[in-house]
Amino acid sequence: MTPSPASPVQTAAPTRTRQPPPRPPRPRRGRRLRGWFAATWFLVPALLVFVLFVLIPIVIALYTSFFRWGGFGWPDDFVGLGNFRDLFADPLFRGDLWRGLVLVVLSVVVQLPIALGTAVLLNQRMRGRAVYRAIFFAPYILSEVIAGVLFGMIFLPGSGLADALIEDVPLVGGLAGKWFSDPGTALPTLFAVMTWKYFGFHMMIYLAGLQGVPKEVLEAAEIDGAGPWERFRHVTLPLLAPTIRISVFLSVIGAIQMFDLVWVTTGGGPTHSTETMAVSMFQFGFQRYQMGYASAISVAMFAISLVFSLLYQRFALRRDLQGAMTSAGGAR
| 71-82 pLDDT per residue, tens | 888 999 999 999
Letter string b/e over residues 21-44, b meaning 16 or more CB atoms within 10 A of that residue's CB: eeeeeeeeeeeeeeeeeeeeeeee
The closest alpha carbon to 323, from 243, 206, 208, belongs to 243
User: In this predicted structure, which of 43-52, 218-227, 259-268, 318-327 has the lowest mean pLDDT?
Assistant: 318-327
Per-residue DSSP letter, 213:
S
Could you give the percent of the chain with pLDDT greater than 70?
Answer: 86
Report the alpha-carbon distance of residue 259 to residue 281 in Å, rounded. 10
Q: How confident is the model at residue 321 (pLDDT cuts 50, 70, 90)?
A: low
Q: How confident is the model at residue 63 (pLDDT cuts 50, 70, 90)?
A: very high
Letter string b/e over residues 225-249, b meaning 16 or more CB atoms within 10 A of that residue's CB: ebeeeebeeebbeeebebbbebbbb
Query: How many C-beta neighbours within 10 Å does residue 182 have?
Result: 15
- Is the per-residue pLDDT at 57 higher than 90? yes
The predicted model scores a pTM of 0.82
CA 306, 310, 316, 317 dihedral sign is positive
Q: How confident is the model at residue 18 (pLDDT cuts 50, 70, 90)?
A: low
Region 287-293: what's the mean pLDDT? 94
Q: How confident is the model at residue 300 (pLDDT cuts 50, 70, 90)?
A: very high
The answer for residues whose C-beta is within 8 angstroms of residue 100's C-beta and 6 or more apart is 255, 256, 258, 276, 277
Q: Which domains does the chain have, with CATH numbers?
A: 100-287 (1.10.3720.10)
The closest alpha carbon to 112, from 230, 227, 276, 243, belongs to 243
The answer for residues whose C-beta is within 8 angstroms of residue 314's C-beta and 6 or more apart is none
* 270 prior amide bond cis, ω within 30: yes
Could you give the percent of the chain with pLDDT greater than 90?
Answer: 65
For the chain, the maximum distance between any two Cα atoms, rounded to a whole number of angstroms, is: 135
Per-residue DSSP letter, 108:
I
The closest alpha carbon to 101, from 284, 192, 93, belongs to 93
Query: How many C-beta neighbours within 10 Å does residue 216 have?
Result: 8
Q: How confident is the model at residue 174 (pLDDT cuts 50, 70, 90)?
A: confident
Report the alpha-carbon distance of residue 198 to residue 289 in Å, rounded. 32
Report pLDDT for 9.
47
Query: pLDDT digits over 89-122, tens only?
Result: 999 999 999 999 999 999 999 999 999 999 999 9
Give me the chain's average pLDDT, please: 87
